[in-house]
Chain A
Amino acid sequence: MAPRKSPPTLLLTGISSRLGRMIARSLHTEYRVIGVDPRGGVHMPRDVTVHALDLRRRKAEDIFRRNRIDAVIHLPPEAPAAQTMDDHRNASVVGTQKVLDYCQKHDIPKVVILSTAAVYGPRPDNPQFLTEEAPLLAGTRHHLMRDLVETDMYATSFFWRHPEVDTVVLRPVHLVGRLNNAASQYLRLPRTPTILGFDPMMQIISSEDLITALTRSLKPGIRGVFNVAGPPPLPLSELVRRARHTNLPLPEPLVRAMLAVKIGGGTAAVSAMQVEYLKFVCMVDDSRARDTLRYTPRLDVAQTLAPISR
């Protein structure tokens, strides 16, 4: 490859989340990383610039105007505990719409949107492994899930409407690590409530493997929707056991109540990890990612669970 004068520029939204910081740390040697996050930058590598901005503010567009951005990675906001329904919808759905509009307006060649495999929804009649063509049936009941589905749908329709932008939508399975997402919080509980009589197969993925998939998506020419899975699936009870936590099978209403208190401090944010995910399968077929992104998970189940294990 010809020597480059300067590394390509990458814009990373939601950079101050734990996952955002991990991504910044692993990509800042290869890319000039610019971050946007209303929380501002904390614990960032020195060569990373962070704009303390909300994406919905007009000033956010200046970042697109003033930099020659080669790629955007968009991390929709996590669900903070105290947000109201409208706040969240606004931040996640409207934030994503804004980012994609700017990408199109300022001729950004590549944008990667991090969605989630949870959008397919856990259902008793799901095939064991859902492909990218499966309908997004999550979130008919809860606004957080509805927002995730809406964000994903907006991103996929942007992919179809704008062939000039290489759009990638990643749908990773339950992300587990030193993170504040619902799956990590749930599996970190030392006595993990599960639903009596149900023990669905479940897929988890480490932040390392997810970052590998993200990095592969940045390659020129890669576009489309990709399921991303980690090591082979295991029953939920077995994941709990391998995290060296205690499995606590309880009747469903009790589990609902317990999770409401233990995750998200009694607020609505719990439902991001709706109890249906503890009852029915919602697993994906990741062969497209394996073939096209040449992605294979590197960490096994034990390594993936290590950050949250006892």
Chain B
Amino acid sequence: MHDEVRETIELLLEREQSEGYDPFGFRPKILEQVLPVAHFLYRHWFRVEPHGLENVPDGRLLLIANHSGQLPFDGMMIGTALVLDRRPPRVVRGMVERWVPTLPFVSQFFARAGQVVGTPANARALLEREELLMVFPEGARGISKTFDRRYQLEEFGLGFMRLALETNTPIVPIGVVGAEEQLPSFYNAKGLARLFGMPSVPVSPTLVLPLPVKYRIYFGEPLHFEGDPDDEDRVIRERVDTVTAAIRALLDRGLRERTGIFS
């Protein structure tokens, strides 16, 4: 195991109960299996460059990011950045689809890795435990969009804003630059996707192996919102637009700063 990985795991296990499980079934010790792989992808494959990690405070927090690249390496790399490059490291909790618990082994693995079933009650419970929750409000529409629409944001869902207002949680906007080019998809075979019950079937020359593009992850300053979580959509939408604009700005900055897709 790489020294950096070993050291990080020791730091994390010190903070969490190393032998234990949290009430959601997360077992910090699983990082011994997961982190070496994530470390390779982070340092050597995608050569991730994180910016603004100091904007990620302690305590309850929502990470809101753009979603792209056909396969969710963007989520994995955001999580890895917060573990490998933030001190002290923070574990990111994510939400999975409601049918994931029906999958043998997969369900078990996700639970141990800290992923919870995406229900509003679970999201609230995690934030009340002062956890760090990652949400992609573009959902499947974002990750499966075709190459011609790269770095365009799909419409954001409103759920995360209601959640933030209800639990009084700050939001850190995140712009991920690079993931859009990892698996360029030229056509989304929606009919085929429906047939197999999958969110999308991307038609891509690189198949499932992502290109070794360079990732740049921009963590924006925390945004604080106040208001009635049950307000009508129009009012909530205005606040969501603030977050969308922040992410848009981070993406524009990243696109300006990069010299090429692989460098």
Using CB atoms and an 8 Å cutoff, list the residues of chain A in contact with chain B.
124-129, 131, 195-201, 232-235, 238, 280-281, 283
Contacts and interface: CB of A to CB of B under 8 A. Distances in A.
A128 B105 contact: no
B64 interface: no
Contacts of A131: 121
A124 B108 CA distance: 12
Given A125-B117, A128-B116, A201-B24, 12 more contacts: A124-B117, A127-B125, A128-B122, A131-B121, A197-B107, A198-B107, A198-B108, A233-B21, A233-B23, A234-B21, A235-B25, A281-B101
B102 A124 contact: yes
Contact of A127 (B21, B99, B121): B121
Nearest to A196: B104
23 contacts: A124-B99, A124-B100, A124-B102, A125-B99, A125-B101, A125-B117, A125-B119, A127-B119, A127-B125, A128-B23, A128-B24, A128-B125, A129-B23, A131-B121, A196-B104, A197-B104, A199-B108, A201-B24, A232-B23, A234-B21, A235-B21, A238-B21, A280-B101
Nearest to B107: A198
A198 B108 CA distance: 6
A128 B103 CA distance: 17
B12 to A, nearest CB: 20
Sorting the interface of chain B by its residue count into under 10, 10 to 19, 20 to 34 or 35 or more gives: 20 to 34
B24 to A, nearest CB: 6
B2 interface: no
B111 interface: yes
A238 B112 CA distance: 12
Contacts of B23: 128-129, 201, 232-233, 283
Contacts of A234: 21
B98 interface: yes
Q: Which of A128, A197, A198 has the most CB of B within 10 A?
A: A128
Contacts of B104: 195-198
Interface of B: 21, 23-25, 98-105, 107-108, 111, 116-117, 119, 121-122, 125
Contacts of A196: 104
A238 B111 CA distance: 14
B99 to A, nearest CB: 6
Contacts of B24: 128, 201
A127 B102 contact: no
B108 A197 contact: yes
A127 B117 contact: yes
Contacts of A197: 103-105, 107-108
A129 B108 CA distance: 18
B101 A201 contact: no
A90 to B, nearest CB: 36
Contacts of B116: 128
Contacts of A280: 101
Contacts of A125: 98-99, 101, 117, 119
A295 B121 CA distance: 23
A208 to B, nearest CB: 22
Nearest to A252: B104
A82 B23 CA distance: 38
A127 B100 CA distance: 13
A224 B108 CA distance: 35
B108 A201 contact: no
A201 B101 CA distance: 12
Given A125-B101, A128-B23, A201 B111 contact: yes
A124 B119 contact: no
A201 B111 CA distance: 9
A126 B116 CA distance: 11
A265 to B, nearest CB: 29
Q: Which 3 A/B pairs are nearest by Cβ-Cβ distance?
A: A197-B104, A127-B121, A124-B101
A215 to B, nearest CB: 26
B191 to A, nearest CB: 27
Most chain B beta-carbon neighbours within 10 Å: one of A125, A131, A235, A281: A125
Contacts of B105: 197
A201 B102 contact: no
B50 to A, nearest CB: 30
B16 to A, nearest CB: 14
Contacts of B117: 124-128
Given A201-B25, A233-B23, A129 B107 contact: no
A126 B107 CA distance: 14
Nearest to B19: A238
Nearest to B23: A233
Nearest to B118: A125
